[in-house]
Amino acid sequence: MWLAGWLLALGPLSRSSAAASEAGLLEFSLGKFKNVLLNETIPAEAVLRNISSNVTVIIFQIHTHHQNVTISFNKKSSITNSGTGPDIGLVSILQPQQTVCTWYLQAVNANSVLSTAVPYSYTERDPIPGGCNLEFNLDIDPNIYLEYNMAETNIKFAPANLGHGRDAKPPICDSVTSQESRLRLRYDVYQYFLPENDLSETAFVSHMRKMSQVQNIRANGVKLMTLTSQDKTDLHFSSLPGQGVIYNVIVIDPQWNTSAAYVPVHTYACSPSALVDSCFTLRKLSTKIFFTILAVLGLFVCFFGHRFWKTDLFLMGFIVSAFCFFIAITRTSTLNYDVNLGLTAVVGIIGGLLLVAYWWRFGFVILCMFIVGLVLGFLVASTVFFTPLGNYKVFQDDVVFWVTFSCIALMVPIVFVGCPRVLNILTCGLIGSYTVVLATACYIYTSLSYIGIDLLRRILNDDFRRAYTSVPFQPNDLILLAVWAMLAIGGITVQLRRERREAPFPPHPYRLWKRERERRVTNILDPSHHVPPLRERIQSKLSQIKDFFQKEQPAGERTPLLF
């Protein structure tokens, strides 16, 4: 039932198509997607008939949600005439008078795999994707090869070649004449984000169709960059675990103003089918507990941080020490994530308490405020590089990046050096409200969490500097951005109005305690100077408790008077 429902939802097959599918023969039309149920034992035969004489190239592509399938020119596939993967395609160079093309489709290590397939045609003036392949197994390879980890996604594709007629030889790939060779070709790289929190096959197939044809790619995708034939076709992007992304490349021939699309590829930067740490279990319980508690403390500091100065200092000390320790322990140890997070929480608590103790003992407001301002500075600098500004190639150089980042971060405490109360209230409002964003990201996907995550990735992963950082900005993010802004503005406004007639900061507690002690010792007229010894005070308290439980004696005479 669920298979039938899936097929009906994506576009029901006609009766003739259904009958052909059962017989192992699939009839296709140019540009028309067909939903196909494949198995491992019997390959399905895909046929395209009545091909026009002006068509010189057919690109046949097939896509699945996460399972591998094989597409081949022959029933018996080999490494040079087939391709295997969840997003795979083949290029058929047509011979003179050829009107029929055939491909063979088969599931890999599965009895039934739901897929969607489509053929596209191109003429002799259209460039041929992957026509100058020198790296992969196929002679002409239109596929985009994708690899990912939790931090980085890498795509590779073979260079294209110029188009040619059915009876003509393909242009030489290593020709040095720029205007008469593949060197004139350009490559536009596009990205398309699937809906947030939607990992379903139905959503995947419906959106994959938007990134398969040149016109649809330009209408729906976001162009990230344009490459020339001199650039490497090896690109890196930041991974977004749990968020579906589709990549595709359009190759353009500027002389003829023609173009062709590669086979699109998709990823969730996680495995939907894994039993452990799948796309549905990415948010660990330890992470939820850690950031939920942090958000409760941050929300309190957002509205009351300046008045409760020690709580404010504890949160800032916690953030600084936990951040530094997590980086150190992740780089130097092989402990698992839960242990690292637990140790980070312990060290963060110790760091927060030490900062409070330092304030209580020495009371140096300037140094404490520098730490507080530095926390806000790091958030501001991370936000700046979270914008498209961070994708400029100049910032791929670590020296340029860290010098710029440090200047932005240090600018915040320097600008507010003359008004530390305003700096502290701004930090309370912005940092406290951002902890709510991080806690929300533990339960639902939001791109705003990557303001801090991308900074950690840049520190922990040496190769992340080459990654293009791009994230979706969808309804969840708009709502959460509005919540963040309202909390920050509300917290800052409340604290500024409440504290405008108060002292800028509470007096130094250690000096107050020391001054009070000296006053009691020197001023014999002060009643607090004549404090009974501890033993007498304890006995007095015990006697008061004892008197409290004694029954009260009635007043008045109870015996009769004698006359």
Question: What is the pLDDT, as a whole number, of residue 270?
Answer: 86
Long-range contacts: 289-295, Cβ < 8 Å, 24+?
290/341, 290/344, 290/345, 291/435, 291/438, 291/439, 291/441, 291/442, 292/439, 292/442, 294/318, 294/435, 294/438, 294/439, 295/435, 295/436, 295/438, 295/439
pLDDT band at 7; cut points 50, 70, 90: very low
- Residue entry with tokens 């940092």: 431
- DSSP single-letter state for residue 416: T
Q: Is the Cβ–Cβ distance between 340 and 326 less than 8 Å?
A: yes
> What's the whole-number mean pLDDT along residues 179-197?
90
Closest CA to 318 of 294, 287, 285, 282: 294
Other C-beta atoms lying within 10 Å of the C-beta of residue 262: 28
Integer Cα distance of 120 and 60 in angstroms: 6
- Least confidently predicted of 72-86, 277-291, 462-476, 489-503: 277-291
pLDDT digits (tens, 9 = 90+) for 17-57: 443 344 378 899 999 999 999 988 888 999 999 999 999 99
Integer Cα distance of 527 and 463 in angstroms: 70
Sign, CA dihedral 375-381-387-393, equals negative
pLDDT digits (tens, 9 = 90+) for 455-480: 999 999 888 988 998 888 888 899 99
pLDDT digits (tens, 9 = 90+) for 252-273: 999 999 999 999 999 998 887 6
Which sequence spans correspond to the domains of the chain? Answer: 25-172+179-267, 284-499
> What's the whole-number mean pLDDT along residues 124-129?
94
Q: Is the Cβ–Cβ distance between 188 and 252 less than 8 Å?
A: yes
pLDDT digits (tens, 9 = 90+) for 547-563: 655 665 555 555 555 44
Render 348-397 in DSSP notation, one character per residue: HHHHHHHHHHHHHHT--HHHHHHHHHHHHHHHHHHHHHHSGGGGSGGGGS
Integer Cα distance of 63 and 297 in angstroms: 47
Integer Cα distance of 111 and 107 in angstroms: 7
Question: What is the pLDDT, as a whole number, of residue 470?
Answer: 87
Q: What's the number of CA atoms in the CB half-sphere (13 Å) around residue 378?
A: 17
- Residue entry with tokens 């081949």: 72
What's the CATH fold of domain 25-172+179-267? Immunoglobulin-like (2.60.40)
Q: Is the Cβ–Cβ distance between 143 and 265 less than 8 Å?
A: yes
Pairing of strands 25-28, 44-48: parallel
